[in-house]
C-alpha cells in the first residue's frame, strides 16, 4: 500500500507544500511516498475526517491550511500543548496506539497488534517557522515587536515572539480582535513581568505611535495580484529595524521594498513557510529535513509563479 501525505484545505490549488515535500522525498529516495492536495469543501470535511482513522486509509500525515486550522484542532485525539495555546493545528500526525502487554506470549502480541488503534495528533509548526525565520536575523529577547494583523497567522507569531521573550504590540484594523489575542496569551508565564506590559493591543491606524525594533506584517495585504499596497506608511521605517512580511508572493512586497530603501534588515517572508514545513517533515519522519533542497524547490517555484 502506498503511504500518502498531503495538505488539507480549501482551496489548496496554489499550495507550495507539494513542491517542497516532493523535493525532500526525492532527495532521500523515499519513492513510495506521495504528497497530495486534499481540496475538501466544508460540506465534505466531516466525511473526510471520519475516514482518516480507518486502518485502511493510506494517509499518514497531513498539513492543514486555511480554513480548517481551528476546526481540526477540535477534532484530533491528542493536541500538542503549543497548538492548544495558539488555538490552531497545521500538522496532523498519525500514531498507532499500541495496547501494551507485559511479558506477552506470541499470540497475545499478535492480538495486541490487531487491536492497535489509530490516533491523530495535532501540532502547530507555524510558530516554529516564524521563530526560526526571525532568529536567523535577530535576537527576540527584550525586543519591541509590532505585529500587524490579528488573524490565524498572527496568533502563531505572537506566541513565537512571547515565548522568545519579546515585548509584543498587536495592531489591527479591528481593535477587538487584537485585544482577543492579548487575552489569549497574557496568562502565559513568558508574558508576565511586574515592571512592564509585555503584551498590548492597539489600532492599526495609530501605527506611528508604536515604534518597533522588529515589525511583522501578517495580513494578506500586498499579495499578488494586488501588489501596489502596503499597510505601513514609509515614514515608519527606521535604519536597522528588522522587517518581516509573511507575504511571499511576490518575493518582495511593496512593504519590503520600502523597508529596504530605509535601511531595514529584511526577514524573507518565504522562510516561515519553509521552516514550518521543515518541522512537519521532522514530526512525520522523525529525522532531519533536507531544508536546503526544500528551499531551492520553493524558491524555484516562487520565481516561476509569474
Of residues 61, 149, 268, 269, which one binds ligand ATR by CB under 6 A?
149
Of residues 63, 150, 161, 277, which one binds ligand ATR by CB under 6 A?
150
CB of residue 82 to ligand ATR, shortest distance in Å = 17
Q: What torsion do the CA atoms of 4, 9, 11, 14 make, to the nearest 10 degrees? A: -60
Of 51 and 205, which has the nearer Cβ to ligand ATR?
A: 205
x/- track of binding to ligand ATR for residues 216-255 (CB under 6 A): --xx-x---------x------------------------
The DSSP bridge partners found for residue 5 are 35, 61
Decide: is 129 part of the binding site for ligand ATR (CB under 6 A).
Answer: no
Cell numbers representing residue 51 in the block:
475516514
Decide: is 151 part of the binding site for ligand ATR (CB under 6 A).
Answer: yes
Count of residues interacting with ligand ATR (CB under 6 A): 15
x/- track of binding to ligand ATR for residues 174-193 (CB under 6 A): x--x----------------
Q: Among candidates 97, 103, 145, 85, which has minimal Cα distance to 121? A: 97
Judge if the upstream peptide bond of residue 250 is cis by omega within 30 degrees of 0.
yes
Decide: is 9 part of the binding site for ligand ATR (CB under 6 A).
Answer: no
| DSSP reduced 3-state for 120 | strand
Helices (H), the chain: 17-27, 42-51, 69-73, 81-86, 106-114, 126-135, 152-163, 175-185, 254-261, 270-285, 291-304
CB of residue 55 to ligand ATR, shortest distance in Å = 34
* Rounded CA separation 181/202 (Å): 11
Catalytic residue among 69, 94, 131, 271: 69
Residue positions counted in the chain: 306
* Rounded CA separation 41/78 (Å): 24
The DSSP bridge pattern shows strands 59-64 and 265-267 to be unpaired
Of 8 and 231, which has the nearer Cβ to ligand ATR?
A: 231
CB of residue 238 to ligand ATR, shortest distance in Å = 22
CB of residue 138 to ligand ATR, shortest distance in Å = 22
**Which of the residues 59 through 98 are near ligand ATR (CB under 6 A)?**
none
Of residues 15, 65, 91, 172, which one binds ligand ATR by CB under 6 A?
172
Answer yes or no: 69 catalytic.
Answer: yes
- Determine which helix (DSSP H) or strand (DSSP E) holds 119, and give its type and residue range: strand 117-123
Of residues 61, 122, 129, 152, which one binds ligand ATR by CB under 6 A?
152
Q: Which residue is nearest to ligand ATR (CB)?
A: 151
Q: Counting Cβ atoms within 10 Å, is residue 61 exposed (0-12), middle (13-18) or buried (19+)?
A: buried
Write out the residues near ligand ATR by the rule CB under 6 A.
149-154, 172-174, 177, 204, 218-219, 221, 231
Write out the catalytic residue numbers: 69
Amino acid at each position: 500500500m502506498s503511504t500518502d501525505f498531503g495538505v488539507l484545505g480549501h482551496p489548496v490549488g496554489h499550495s507550495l507544500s507539494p513542491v517542497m515535500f516532493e523535493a525532500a522525498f526525492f532527495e532521500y529516495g523515499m519513492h513510495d511516498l506521495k504528497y497530495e492536495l486534499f481540496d475538501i469543501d466544508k460540506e465534505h470535511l466531516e466525511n473526510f475526517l471520519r475516514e482518516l482513522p480507518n486502518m485502511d486509509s493510506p494517509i499518514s500525515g497531513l498539513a492543514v491550511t486555511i480554513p480548517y486550522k481551528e476546526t481540526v484542532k477540535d477534532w484530533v485525539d491528542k493536541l500538542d500543548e503549543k497548538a492548544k495555546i495558539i488555538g490552531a493545528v497545521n500538522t496532523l500526525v498519525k500514531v498507532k496506539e499500541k495496547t501494551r502487554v507485559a511479558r506477552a506470549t506470541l499470540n497475545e502480541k499478535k492480538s495486541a497488534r490487531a487491536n492497535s488503534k489509530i490516533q491523530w495528533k495535532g501540532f502547530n509548526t507555524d510558530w516554529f517557522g516564524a521563530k526560526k525565520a526571525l532568529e536567523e536575523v535577530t535576537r527576540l529577547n527584550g525586543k519591541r515587536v509590532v505585529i500587524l494583523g490579528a488573524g490565524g497567522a498572527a496568533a502563531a507569531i505572537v506566541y513565537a515572539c512571547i515565548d522568545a521573550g519579546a515585548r509584543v504590540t498587536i495592531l489591527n484594523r479591528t481593535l477587538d480582535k487584537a485585544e482577543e489575542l492579548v487575552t489569549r496569551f497574557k496568562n502565559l508565564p513568558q508574558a508576565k513581568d511586574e515592571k512592564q506590559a509585555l503584551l498590548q493591543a492597539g489600532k492599526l491606524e495609530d501605527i506611528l505611535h508604536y515604534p518597533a525594533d522588529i515589525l511583522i506584517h501578517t495580513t494578506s495585504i500586498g499579495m499578488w495580484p494586488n501588489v501596489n499596497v502596503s499597510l505601513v506608511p514609509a515614514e515608519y521605517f527606521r535604519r536597522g529595524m528588522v522587517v518581516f512580511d509573511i507575504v511571499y508572493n511576490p518575493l518582495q512586497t511593496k512593504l519590503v521594498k520600502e523597508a529596504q530603501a530605509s535601511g531595514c534588515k529584511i526577514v524573507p517572508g518565504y522562510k516561515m513557510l519553509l521552516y514550518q514545513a521543515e518541522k512537519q517533515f521532522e514530526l512525520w519522519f522523525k529525522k532531519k529535513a533536507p531544508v536546503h533542497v526544500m528551499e531551492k524547490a520553493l524558491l524555484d517555484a516562487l520565481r516561476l509563479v509569474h
